[in-house]
Amino acid sequence: MIKNAKNWDNKRSDNLKKYREEDKIEESNSANFDKHFVHKQLLKTIKDATVEARIKSKLNYIQRSSSYMDSHFSKRN
């Protein structure tokens, strides 16, 4: 049992070293990431789009359930 405990402890310490090295690599990669990239892109699209264009594009993305298609089209609200 003591050998098993030592074996698990060695595996655990090896895994911890590996994960810490991976975290360091990930942190160094994230330093190059622009935190405001998405915000800038959203502002650019909002500036270029008119209200009419946004409404039309929204209509294309409406998701309807299957029950919506089963009802009669002239009785829909």
Give the range of the structural domain holding residue 45, as residue numbers without chain letter.
2-62
Q: Is residue 45 in some structural domain?
A: yes
Cα separation, 10 vs 16, whole angstroms: 10
Based on its alpha-carbon atoms, the radius of gyration of the chain, rounded to whole angstroms, reads: 27
pLDDT at position 43:
87
pTM beyond cutoff 0.75? no
pLDDT one-digit tens code per residue, 21-32? 999 998 888 777
Does residue 35 lie within any of the structural domains? yes
Tens-place pLDDT, residues 52-74: 877 777 776 665 656 666 666 66
Q: Determine the Cα–Cα distance for residues 29 and 68; give it in Å rounded to an integer.
A: 47
For 30, list phi and psi in degrees, rounded to 5: -75, -15
- pLDDT tops 70 at residue 77: no
The reply to whether 74 falls in a domain is no
- How many domains, the chain? 1
**pLDDT at 76 > cutoff 60:** no
* 55 occurs within a structural domain: yes
